[in-house]
Homo-oligomer: A and B are copies of this chain.
Amino acid sequence: MINDRAVKQAIQTIEQSFSESIHALIRTTSFPEIEEPSRKLISDAMLYSLNAGGKRIRPMMLLEMARAYGGEISKTEPFAMAIEMIHTYSLVHDDLPSMDDDDLRRGKPTNHVVFGEDIAILAGDGLLNLASELMIQSAIENAGDIKYLRAMHEIMGASGANGMILGQVADIKSSDATVDLERLDFINGYKTGKLLTAALVAGGILGGADDEEVEKLRSIGKDMGHLFQIVDDLLDVVGDETKLGKRTQIDSKNLKITYPGLIGIEATRAKITEIANRLKDRIHTLRIEPTFLVSLVDFLADRDF
């Protein structure tokens, strides 16, 4: 439980500095003449979802890995913000009426409920674009150091049509097909696993991890994504809407196939423990101090929100 509290503390710290940085970034860098009503509108729509109080798991993973391998944290921040922007854009688009049609996210009405479907689509586009702008800007400022380019390449590859987007397509098109565990793992691996993995890998690269460590981080990230999604599935069945800040029973409403639906609640809990234990073993083979990643596994496995 102490570990769990440590991660929650880290999340709070990140959340605080994060909101300020993101606000300043969007308001000043990207929107020089904020009095223009369209600038204010798209800025508000982008900030609305970015500041809706997510867990900031991905930027935290990226920053902590960069720190663990000895990187300069201040130079890593644009990548942390970028990966959260990409995650947020994916939620905004996933929630759209033509996709999952969700009206509640992180305890607040979803982006399209507040701003309309057209602006929500454009706000998502704007977040994906701004993520790329942030990283390329950072790469220019650190020109000559290829690790900034490699980290960006990892993140953009993970979010694209051979990554997160593919997972969303597979998810949409699997709603009423016969889905088995293998298929479910494929969907989760792309939809959630790729970007979580990129957070660890890009963080490691920015910190200066060598290729062997990077490949270990990639393998750990894959299992963490798996863990994350199975817990998400479980919370949709047994979770508390108030704590989660989103509707539960959405998956069964949408006829979505999930782990509890396929193997039952108890077997799902056993699977979570199995993956968490395997992850901890792997984490101990890394060359870095293991506390953060071990705490993160406990946090992901035990979370109720």
Contacts and interface: CB of A to CB of B under 8 A. Distances in A.
A173 B37 contact: yes
Interface in A16-54: 30-32, 36-39, 41-43, 46
Nearest to A174: B38
A129 B132 CA distance: 9
A98 interface: yes
A118 B99 contact: yes
A132 B118 contact: no
Contact of A156 (B117, B125, B132): B132
Contacts of A150: 140
Interface in A104-160: 116-119, 121-122, 124-126, 128-130, 132-133, 136-137, 139-140, 143-144, 146, 149-150, 152-153, 156-157, 159-160
Interface residues of A, number: 54
Contacts of A99: 118, 121
A166 B32 CA distance: 12
Contacts of A255: none
A122 B169 contact: yes
A265 B130 CA distance: 39
A161 B129 contact: yes
Contacts of A161: 30-31, 42-43, 46, 122, 126, 129-130
Interface in A142-196: 143-144, 146, 149-150, 152-153, 156-157, 159-162, 165-166, 168-170, 172-173
Nearest to A128: B128
Interface string A239-262: 000000000000000000000000
6 pairs of A and B residues whose beta carbons are closest in the complex: A126-B161, A98-B117, A129-B160, A38-B170, A38-B169, A132-B132
Given A122-B169, A139-B139, 13 more contacts: A31-B161, A36-B170, A39-B162, A41-B169, A42-B166, A96-B121, A119-B169, A122-B165, A126-B160, A129-B161, A129-B165, A132-B156, A136-B149
